[in-house]
A and B are shown apart, each in its own frame.
Chain A
Amino acid sequence: MPGDTVSVIRPRTYEEAASAVRDCAARGAVARGGPGRAYGDAARNSGGTVLDMTGLDRVHVVDADEGIVLCGSGVLLHRLAELMLPLGWFVPVAPATGRATVGGAIGADVHGGNHPVSGSFSHHVLSLELLTADGEVRTVKPGTELFAATAGGMGLTGVILTATIRLLPVETAYLTVDTERAADLDDLMARLTDGDHRRYGCARIDLTARGADTGRAVLTRADHTPLDALRTGTRAWRHPLSCRPRRRPPALALLSGGLPGSLLGRTSAGLLGGLRYRTAPRARSGELRPLSADFPALAAPQGTRRTGCVRYRFAVGHGQEETLHRIVRRLAAYRCGSFHAVLQPLGDTDAGWLSFPLPGWTLALDIPAALPGLAGFLDGLDEEVAAAGGRVCLAEDSRLRPGLLTTMYPRAADFRTLRARLDPRGVFVSDLARRLDL
């Protein structure tokens, strides 16, 4: 929100971070990756202190043989990818926003289009250093309670200072992308689960379609291109691992992220989805795309929050496809124009107590906030999701009703207990924590 009275501190050293935490006033502190990057209000702290961690952006140790990196938590994921690609390594999980930091990716336990294959981000963390409320720096390893609370813990257990991450080996800096159109939601889900083992998969749903076409979508699947798949003699073949950031055409960049939602209503937002569907190829396979720094093939717009829009992301488990159907039908009937309606399959549940992914499906929406009755409509969807054993993503949430939290996240009680023990004075707090009483 513009004009929040927060004092933003950008520590350059671990000592500065520690003294900022020690000195923060009664309204506490929370760490964030950078200004305006988060979708929800997990990185806001009205009236209090916010630590901007992008000052701690050093890569300390690189093991190029094993693909292991020890770096500060403020390193941006796309920087890490640029740095490691020439050595044949890529970030293990690329969220829809390429501008997340390592610390933010762990705190929100982000997932990407490769969740069924790779799991979420914390799955690839070997160890991390956490500055807790008592001023101590603890080394946290996977398998411990503190790790489970910190992965997906929205920065409420402490400030992540460094992380050791295992990266993903790649042979080239290219993706082999297949695009196809799915005629309706059943067709789409069948295609996404047809025993296909490609690494990335996601679908953009056209919510203007109603009736028999409800849930029609453009389905994109991709895999890292192996070296021998590159045509000999081409530029790609000569420099298989060179990483060049690709600029989007300005018009496209504007439509996909830059245009404020308040300027557009449901008609224009819906038309954009319809246009995307109609202009997509019916079926195209084997397209070679550079794995440029902002992962264009991995779905989604450039990820800062779109002003005037509300982000809604939920997941429902396998066996709850009927709920998903019902929700998509309701969205279509509500004529909910969404700039971004992306369906992804999810794999196994991750270790984090407040981690979002569960085995099933996730749908993300960006809806103009000014639509009449939207608040009540989304509350209705929450009820339906909770009744189906699903959940809403906390990292992208700015409107969940507090009563539903424990239904959606059964380990929330453990999280509260651990926080009460670890941080009795409530030093770490955010607007999300205040609203949901985390």
Chain B
Amino acid sequence: MKDAFGLPQSLLVLGGTSEIALATARRLIARRTRTVWLAGRPSPALEQAAESLRALGADARTVTFDALDPESHETVLGKVFAEGDIDLVLLAFGVLGDQAQDERDPVRAVQVAQTNYTGAVSAGLVAAGALQTQGHGSLVVLSSAAGERARRADFIYGSSKAGLDAFTQGLGDALHGTGAHVMVVRPGYTRAEGPLTTTPEAVATAIELGLRRRSEVVWVPGALRLVMAALRHTPRALFRRLPL
């Protein structure tokens, strides 16, 4: 059960090796979280992530989950929810892809879209249904600033995130009034340094604040909201020439 500040006691991470998700889990364990489910494809990295959370005092368990196999989502996630209430579901899986290669190999491009969008649609719907039955809990979906407007440099990834973002917003409206809460998080680039980039720790901080405020959309860093609003309305002829 969440407390008055929206801090969860149990957490389910879809995409258990995501850096942002693990930074968030570490932060929440320092507050209230005791039970963490890390869902992902079985790998040493996943076990290692669970071990690192156990070292912090949490009861961390792993569960096999594959975003590319939507038929299994109902069974896999159903088992987790049957074990007890989940206060926070963090949907954090996704692949960046390689734009240049993916453009040449459409099958690889489709896989990016299937992981980031199709997989999230089925997992998100299963989680949302369970939260609705519970009557409480939050679903936090990691979108991206790249989904706000397609750029030449990463439009395959960006378009998949744009779909995910729109899906999540609609899901949030569908769950409004059921006690469950949906939050979209749109971080900037986390793998570089410079203005408007961010770190997994900063995203974790923003997620905690968003949970407390029951926000629906969170930008990290916050200034991205204004910058992207401006970019979104930039004429295409000009946008195309910008060094983005």
B4–A369 touching, CB < 8 Å? yes
B179–A5 touching, CB < 8 Å? yes
A5–B5 touching, CB < 8 Å? no
Binary CB contact string for chain A from 398 to 432 against chain B (1 if under 8 A, 0 otherwise): 11111000000000000000000000000000010
List chain A residues, Cβ under 8 A from B7.
Answer: 375
A3-B178 contact given A48-B135, A375-B212, CB 8 Å threshold: yes
A375–B133 touching, CB < 8 Å? no
B178–A431 touching, CB < 8 Å? no
Residue among B2, B135, B177 having the largest count of chain A Cβ atoms under 10 Å: B135
A399–B5 touching, CB < 8 Å? yes
CB distance from A41 to the nearest CB of B (A): 8
A47-B134 contact given A374-B5, A401-B32, A434-B85, CB 8 Å threshold: yes
A46–B135 touching, CB < 8 Å? yes
B133–A47 touching, CB < 8 Å? yes
Binary CB contact string for chain A from 375 to 403 against chain B (1 if under 8 A, 0 otherwise): 11001000000000000000000111110
**Which B residue's beta carbon lies closest to that of A401?**
B32
Complex CA–CA separation, A27 to B1 (angstroms): 13
Question: Could you say which of A3, A379, A402 contacts B9, with CB atoms under 8 Å apart?
Answer: A402
A435–B3 touching, CB < 8 Å? yes
Task: Report if A190 contacts B (CB, 8 A).
Answer: no
A399–B179 touching, CB < 8 Å? no
List chain B residues, Cβ under 8 A from A228.
Answer: none
Task: Report if B31 contacts A (CB, 8 A).
Answer: yes
Q: Which 4 A-B residue pairs are closest in the complex by CB-CB distance?
A: A47-B135, A46-B135, A435-B1, A46-B136
Interface of B: prevailing SS: loop
**Which B residue's beta carbon lies closest to that of A375?**
B5
B3–A399 touching, CB < 8 Å? yes
B1–A431 touching, CB < 8 Å? yes
27 CB contacts below 8 A, A to B, read: A1-B136, A1-B179, A5-B132, A5-B179, A6-B135, A6-B179, A27-B134, A27-B135, A45-B135, A46-B1, A46-B135, A46-B136, A47-B133, A47-B135, A48-B135, A310-B5, A374-B5, A375-B212, A376-B31, A379-B31, A398-B4, A399-B4, A400-B3, A401-B32, A402-B34, A431-B1, A435-B1
Binary CB contact string for chain A from 305 to 349 against chain B (1 if under 8 A, 0 otherwise): 000001000000000000000000000000000000000000000
B134–A46 touching, CB < 8 Å? yes
Complex CA–CA separation, A379 to B85 (angstroms): 23
List chain B residues, Cβ under 8 A from A1.
Answer: 136, 179
Task: Report if B176 contacts A (CB, 8 A).
Answer: yes
A interface vs B, CB < 8 Å? 1, 3-6, 27, 41, 45-48, 310, 369-370, 374-376, 379, 398-402, 431, 434-435
List chain B residues, Cβ under 8 A from A402.
Answer: 9, 34
List chain B residues, Cβ under 8 A from A399.
Answer: 3-5
**Which A residue's beta carbon lies closest to that of B208?**
A375
Question: Could you say which of B1, B31, B132, B213 contacts A375, with CB atoms under 8 Å apart?
Answer: B31
CB distance from B181 to the nearest CB of A (A): 9
Complex CA–CA separation, A46 to B213 (angstroms): 19
Complex CA–CA separation, A434 to B3 (angstroms): 11
Interface of A: prevailing SS: loop
Question: Could you say which of A4, A310, A370, A400 contacts B136, with CB atoms under 8 Å apart?
Answer: A4
B175-201 contacts to A, CB under 8 A, are: 176-179
B31–A431 touching, CB < 8 Å? no
Question: Could you say which of A6, A310, A401 contacts B4, with CB atoms under 8 Å apart?
Answer: A310
**Which A residue's beta carbon lies closest to that of B213?**
A370
CB distance from B50 to the nearest CB of A (A): 21
B3–A398 touching, CB < 8 Å? yes
List chain A residues, Cβ under 8 A from B2.
Answer: 435
Question: Could you say which of B4, B85, B133, B135 contacts A4, with CB atoms under 8 Å apart?
Answer: B135
A3–B179 touching, CB < 8 Å? yes
**Which A residue's beta carbon lies closest to that of B133?**
A47
Complex CA–CA separation, A376 to B7 (angstroms): 11
Binary CB contact string for chain B from 1 to 15 against chain A (1 if under 8 A, 0 otherwise): 111110101000000
Complex CA–CA separation, A59 to B62 (angstroms): 56
**Which B residue's beta carbon lies closest to that of A374?**
B5
**Which B residue's beta carbon lies closest to that of A376?**
B31
A369-B135 contact given A3-B176, A3-B178, A5-B179, CB 8 Å threshold: no
A434-B1 contact given A5-B132, A46-B135, A375-B212, CB 8 Å threshold: yes
**Which A residue's beta carbon lies closest to that of B175?**
A3
Complex CA–CA separation, A1 to B133 (angstroms): 16
B28-58 contacts to A, CB under 8 A, are: 31-32, 34
Question: With contacts A3-B176, A47-B135, A435-B1 known, what are 10 further pairs, Cβ within 8 A?
Answer: A1-B179, A3-B178, A5-B135, A5-B178, A47-B133, A310-B4, A310-B5, A369-B5, A376-B31, A431-B136
CB distance from A428 to the nearest CB of B (A): 16
List chain B residues, Cβ under 8 A from A398.
Answer: 3-4
CB distance from A178 to the nearest CB of B (A): 36
CB distance from A77 to the nearest CB of B (A): 26
CB distance from B48 to the nearest CB of A (A): 27
CB distance from A5 to the nearest CB of B (A): 4
List chain B residues, Cβ under 8 A from A400.
Answer: 3
**Which A residue's beta carbon lies closest to that of B136?**
A46
List chain A residues, Cβ under 8 A from B132.
Answer: 5
Complex CA–CA separation, A55 to B34 (angstroms): 40
CB distance from B3 to the nearest CB of A (A): 4
CB distance from B182 to the nearest CB of A (A): 13
